[in-house]
Amino acid sequence: MKKPFKRPLKQQVQNHLDQVQMDTSQFTALEKLMANNEQKEKKDSRSSWVPLAAAGMFFFAVITAFMALQFSKDNLLTMPQQIAEEVVSNHLKLKPLEVKTGSIDAVRGYFNKLDFMPVESSLQALGNLQLIGGRYCSLQGITAAQLRMKQGKNLQTLYETEYVPAVFGDLPSLEKGEAPLVIYAKGIKVKVWVEKGLLFALTDSPAVTGRKENDG
């Protein structure tokens, strides 16, 4: 009896592969399935950062709007009003004095980093105020001397800085017989004028009482 004929293993494997080989339509369907799957993975990847990007854009829009509002608000204020607002803001903070003295000469000696020399004003309103000291400060970005004045227990603030017309604009000159500007900021009256080449700004009323100085 003849033994059954057995094909070589290599031939058997090849026959098996031939049996499972896909026709053209099956191969096309598989390619389409793989392409859809790849597209879905990319979409899922994009969907993970889209919310973050949207949140970032919203935050940027809010900040931009806020800055635009502030810029617009500042532009609506005249320069004298901006000066008064800044002077009153620092006046109310009542920061510690860097030099304590009632002598204008001692004050001049301390403020040696200024491009000008602090002077005494001839404004009559200052006649009843006593100098008690000062500290470095700035006004509209220009270095200034912030002097503290006293009348009884009431404290007032006097600013002196170099008068730069390009920054501060046209302001009344005491030497030309012009009266100081009177501006109100936060309920406090501020007088602004030019004298001896310097810009002066003085809080006038109501006064800040002699409370304890802030540490900041």
pLDDT surpasses 50 at 11: yes
DSSP string, 162-189: E--HHHH-S--BGGGTPPPEEEEETTEE
pLDDT tens for residues 90-146?
999 999 999 999 999 999 999 999 999 999 999 988 888 999 999 999 999 999 999
pTM as predicted: 0.63
List 193's β-bridge partners, or say none: 200
Q: Which helix (H) or strand (E) is 71 found in, with range? A: helix 24-76
pLDDT bin (cut points 50, 70, 90) of residue 153 is: confident
Confidence at residue 173, expressed as pLDDT on a 0 to 100 scale: 96
One-letter amino acid of 99? V
Confidence at residue 71, expressed as pLDDT on a 0 to 100 scale: 46
Instruction: Report the b/e string of 121-144 with b at 16+ CB within 10 A.
Output: bebeebeebebbbbbebebeeeeb
Residue 190 near residue 202 (C-beta atoms within 8 A): yes
Residue 146 near residue 159 (C-beta atoms within 8 A): yes
pLDDT tens for residues 96-107?
999 999 999 999
pLDDT surpasses 90 at 30: no
Confidence at residue 36, expressed as pLDDT on a 0 to 100 scale: 72
Report residue 144 as tokens. 């200034």
Closest CA to 119 of 49, 42, 175: 175
